[in-house]
Each structure stands twice: as C-alpha cells, then as structure tokens.
C-alpha cells in the first residue's frame, strides 16, 4: 500500500479543475443515463432477441449491481486512491457496453448489463468524492449544482435518446454511444487526476461486510422492482425477499459494530451531520424521482397532453432543480448560516406541493407548471448544501465512504419511492395492488381518469410529507464553518 505522496507547492490550476469537472460530469452522466435510456428500446430488444419474458432483467440487472457496489467503490477509493478506481470504473463500464451491444441473446445481454452496472456504480460513487478532493468546502457549492444537473439531464434525456435510437437507428446504439463518451471522460480525467491530492491510508477491506451489504441491497432492490409488477406485494415471494433483506441488514449492523475495520466506519455512522444530511437528501430526492417517473402519465392521461408535450411539461422540474442548486451553491460560500437557504427553499417546495395536492387537475396548467418550478427550486436548494456539509464534516480519508453512503441511500430511497408511487396509482386505477407499471397505468387510467387524478393528489400529499421530513432532518443538521483551504497538487501516482 503506497503512502500518500508528498504535496508539492503547485496548486491545481483553474484549467485543470475545469477539465477534471468536465470529465467527472460526463462520467456520472453516462452512469446515470444507462438507468433510463434502455426503457423505450425494450420492446424492440424483446422482438429482436425473442425473449420477452426475460426483458425486465435488462433494466433490473443494471440497477441491482450498480446500487450494490456503490459503497464498495467508496471504500476502495479510500484505500487505493480515487484515480485508479475511477479508471477501473470507466473501463468496466465501457467493456460492459461493448458486451451489451454485441449480445446475441437476452441472457447474455442481461449478464452484460450486470457487468456494465459494475462500472456504472463506480462512476456514480466517485464523482462527488473527487469534487470533495479538489474543491474546498467554501467554494464547493458552486460545483455541486453542475453535478446535480447530470442526474436530471440523464433522467429526462435518457428516454428521449433511447427512443430515437431504437426507432431510427438500432437498439445497440444506446450502448455503442458509451464508447466515445467513456473515452472522452477517461482522457479528460486520467492525466489530471495524477495530480489529485492523496489522502488514502493503509486499510483492510471488510469483505464480509461488503458481501452482506451487497446481498441485502440486491434482495431489497428485487423486492422493490418486482413488487406490484411481477408479483403482488403480499405474495410469499415479495414478503420473503423483504424478510431476507431485513435479516441481512441485521447481520450487517452486527458486523459493522464488531469488525476491526468495518466497510462503513462507525465514526461515519455516528456523525450526526452525515446522518441528518443523508436522510434529508434521501427523502427529498425520493419525492422528486417519484414525480419525474410518473408525472408524464398524469400529463398524458389526466391533462390530455401528447407524448412530446408531456416531456416538455417536465422541464420546470429539471430547470427548477438546477436553478435552486445553483443559487444555494453560490450563496452558501458567502453566508455564515448557509442552512437558511434550503430551509426557505424547502418551505416554498412544501407549500407548492400542498397547493397542487389540494387544487388537483382543476388548477390552470400555467399555474401547475409554475408550482412545479417552485417545488423544484426549493428542493434543489437542499442538494449542494447537504452534500458540502457532509464532505466538510469528515476527514479526507473517509470522504469516499461518506459520499458512497449518500449515493447508495439516495438510490435506494428513489427506488422505494418509485415502487410505492406506482403501487398507489395502480391501486387507484385498477382496484388492486398488482399489475404492470407504466403500460398498465396508461391502459387502465383511460378508463378511470378520476381514480388516477385522485391517486396523483395522494402522491403530491405524500411528496409534501416527505419534504417535511427532509426539512426536519435539515433542521437537526449542525452548521460547521466551511473550510476554505485550497488543495495542493500531488506528485503523480
């Protein structure tokens, strides 16, 4: 295990930081994009490969693996350094993309998607960690806004790009496109990251803890993905998955308390800033992702918009979240009490969400869009403040683990919200808790528009409640003065 390289007097220049940031944003973008770009191409893939029964695993395998390995990448980057782990993640992701594009059967495509997710989880886990290495906390909020933009761009752009490729080119293009994007990300970061400050220390990797966390994550994600879609929520299969996940979680907690050097250090788990900041982001992002996934159905079915206009109707959520994050990021570097910005923002978001829930589809469309923008701006103001606060509260050698924990819980929270929202809407339109997902909703909702409208009012009330919980955790999060020291460059690895 190499010791940290001695610092040199030269600072990372602005051009170097811009190059690293561009590469990191691109790396995170392709990792997030492959969670959404496949969905519209799935019918075409199913027809061409001739195995529709296995088709859902094309999405599920990527989500399962990428979520499960997120904490592992964080720990490994604390042990071996950020650069080597990011290069491994990009290389694995590109290799998986090639395997996906060339897959002749559905089974091989599913396995290739798992390999792709093995790299994708690292892309998502390491981006914010490296930002924490190269930007001091006092200035970091400005850059976090750009990082958040990549998630939303992938969430909305993925289905559009995937649909265009499947319709006018070939479904394999959704994987081939990752080769040039991955190569650019590699070139923009590889040489510059050799000058990245080194903070790793000699560590032991808790393999048992990693196995327990990955197994628990896989079972929980399976339950959330299959529940209400492939099996009824009350079925023995789903209940068994939840029960097994709970048992593994209990075993993981026991392992973390007793291991000499656990996968997630006890100091991180006991850090109240990490705990409260992570839970604040988890609840807020759960509400946002649930709405992004299901609002197009509301637009198309209840408000009778076309599919093209439905996509544009989501723009207030994207632009608003980015705007809110940008405003908060810039203000927190100038304010001593930087929590005030997201506290005001979340208050506005709660009010806007409540008005939508009360007014329902009787609201004028322009007002509905304005309220969506207010919701997104308020929610977006939380993201850079919480992320920077977490990074500011832990030692540099625990930064990778902390950011991986944040991303891991955010993904699990979003998966839970999407599953729960879908169950509520399906129940309101079909009278049962089991069925399809988007396809079932679109089919049944045309016959029960009132039920769907009522279901969305419930979802907005739940979203308002989730934002209130997020606000409660934000209030409990301590404000520590932000460090303003610039990182020195390191000798090449």
46 with 55: CB under 8 angstroms? yes
The answer as to whether 71 is a domain residue is: yes
Task: Render each residue's pLDDT in the chain as its tens digit; 493 residues.
Answer: 333 333 333 456 677 777 778 888 888 788 777 766 776 676 677 778 876 666 667 777 787 788 778 777 877 877 777 788 888 999 999 999 999 999 888 889 888 988 998 888 888 778 777 877 777 766 666 666 667 667 667 766 777 777 778 778 888 888 898 899 888 888 877 777 776 655 555 566 677 887 888 788 778 877 876 776 677 778 888 899 999 999 998 998 888 888 777 777 777 778 888 889 889 988 998 888 788 777 877 887 777 776 557 667 777 887 788 788 888 877 877 777 888 899 999 999 999 999 999 887 788 888 999 999 999 999 989 988 888 888 788 777 777 777 777 877 887 787 778 777 777 776 666 554 444 444 444 454 455 567 777 888 888 999 999 999 999 999 998 888 776 555 444 443 4
Bridge pairing between strands 488-490 and 7-11: antiparallel
Same domain for 323 and 472? yes
The answer as to whether 1 is a domain residue is: no
> What is residue 106's predicted lDDT score, i.e. its pLDDT?
83
268 with 293: CB under 8 angstroms? no
The answer as to whether 180 is a domain residue is: yes
> What is residue 427's predicted lDDT score, i.e. its pLDDT?
66
Same domain for 380 and 247? no
Same domain for 385 and 294? yes
The answer as to whether 351 is a domain residue is: yes
The answer as to whether 2 is a domain residue is: no
CB proximity list for 243: less than 8 A, separation 6 or greater? none
> What is residue 162's predicted lDDT score, i.e. its pLDDT?
75
> What is residue 155's predicted lDDT score, i.e. its pLDDT?
67
> What is residue 232's predicted lDDT score, i.e. its pLDDT?
78
How far lies 172's CA from each of 37, 48, 99, 111, 163, in Å?
A: 11, 11, 10, 15, 12
Same domain for 241 and 301? no
Same domain for 121 and 230? no
* CATH number assigned to the domain comprising residue 465: 1.20.1250.20
The answer as to whether 404 is a domain residue is: yes
> What is residue 216's predicted lDDT score, i.e. its pLDDT?
85
Question: Which residues span the domain enclosing 220?
Answer: 206-262
Same domain for 11 and 81? yes
Indicate the residue among 262, 296, 327 that finishes a domain.
262
> What is residue 121's predicted lDDT score, i.e. its pLDDT?
83
Q: How many CB atoms lie within 10 A of CB 214?
A: 21
The number of distinct structural domains making up the chain is 2
Same domain for 299 and 446? yes
122 with 94: CB under 8 angstroms? no
Same domain for 177 and 324? yes
Same domain for 173 and 242? no
The answer as to whether 464 is a domain residue is: yes
Same domain for 449 and 303? yes
Indicate the residue among 221, 240, 262 that finishes a domain.
262
Residues 313-337: b if buried by 16+ CB within 10 A, e if exposed: bbebbbbbbbbbbbbbbbbbbeeee
Same domain for 211 and 126? no
Same domain for 238 and 111? no
């Amino acid at each position: 295990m190499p010791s940290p390289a001695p610092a040199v007097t030269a600072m990372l220049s602005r051009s170097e930081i811009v190059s690293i940031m561009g590469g990191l944003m691109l790396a995170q973008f392709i990792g997030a994009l492959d969670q959404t770009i496949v969905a519209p191409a799935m019918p075409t893939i199913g027809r061409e490969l001739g195995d529709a029964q296995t088709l859902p695993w094309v999405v599920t395998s990527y989500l399962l693996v990428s979520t499960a390995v997120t904490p592992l990448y964080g720990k490994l980057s604390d042990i071996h350094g950020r650069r080597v782990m990011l290069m491994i993640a990009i290389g694995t992701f590109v290799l998986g993309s090639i395997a996906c594009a060339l897959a002749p059967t559905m089974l091989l495509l599913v396995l290739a998607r798992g390999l792709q997710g093995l790299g994708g989880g690292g892309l998502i886990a390491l981006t914010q960690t490296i930002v924490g290495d190269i930007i001091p906390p006092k200035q970091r909020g400005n850059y976090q806004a750009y990082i958040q933009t990549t998630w939303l761009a992938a969430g909305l752009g993925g289905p559009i790009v995937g649909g265009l490729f499947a319709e006018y080119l070939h479904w394999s293009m959704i994987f081939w496109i990752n080769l040039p994007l991955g190569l650019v990300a590699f070139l923009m970061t590889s040489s510059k990251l050799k000058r990245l400050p080194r903070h790793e220390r000699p560590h032991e990797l808790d393999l048992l803890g990693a196995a327990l966390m990955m197994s628990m994550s896989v079972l929980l994600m399976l339950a959330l993905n299959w529940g209400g879609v492939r099996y009824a929520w009350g079925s023995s299969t789903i209940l068994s998955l939840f029960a097994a996940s709970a048992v593994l979680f209990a075993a993981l907690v026991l392992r973390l308390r007793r291991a000499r050097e656990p996968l997630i250090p006890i100091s991180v788990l006991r850090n109240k800033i990490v705990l409260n900041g992570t839970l604040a982001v988890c609840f807020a992002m759960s509400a946002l992702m649930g709405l992004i996934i299901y609002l197009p159905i509301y637009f198309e079915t209840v408000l009778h918009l076309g599919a093209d206009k439905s996509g544009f109707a989501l723009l207030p959520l994207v632009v608003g979240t980015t705007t809110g994050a940008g405003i908060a990021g810039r203000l927190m570097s100038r304010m001593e009490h930087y929590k005030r910005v997201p506290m005001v923002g979340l208050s506005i978001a709660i009010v806007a969400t409540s008005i939508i829930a009360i007014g329902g589809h009787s609201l004028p469309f322009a007002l509905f869009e304005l309220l969506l923008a207010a919701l997104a701006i308020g929610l977006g103001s939380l993201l850079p403040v919480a992320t920077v606060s977490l990074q500011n509260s832990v030692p540099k050698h625990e930064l990778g683990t902390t950011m991986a924990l944040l991303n891991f819980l955010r993904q699990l929270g979003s998966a839970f919200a999407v599953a729960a929202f879908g169950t509520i809407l399906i129940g309101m339109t079909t009278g049962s808790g089991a069925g399809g997902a988007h396809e079932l909703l679109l089919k049944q909702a045309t016959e029960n528009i009132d039920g769907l409208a009522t279901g969305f009012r419930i979802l907005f009330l739940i979203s308002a409640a989730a934002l209130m919980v997020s606000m409660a955790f934000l209030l409990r999060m301590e404000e520590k003065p932000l460090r303003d020291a610039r990182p020195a460059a390191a000798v090449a690895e």
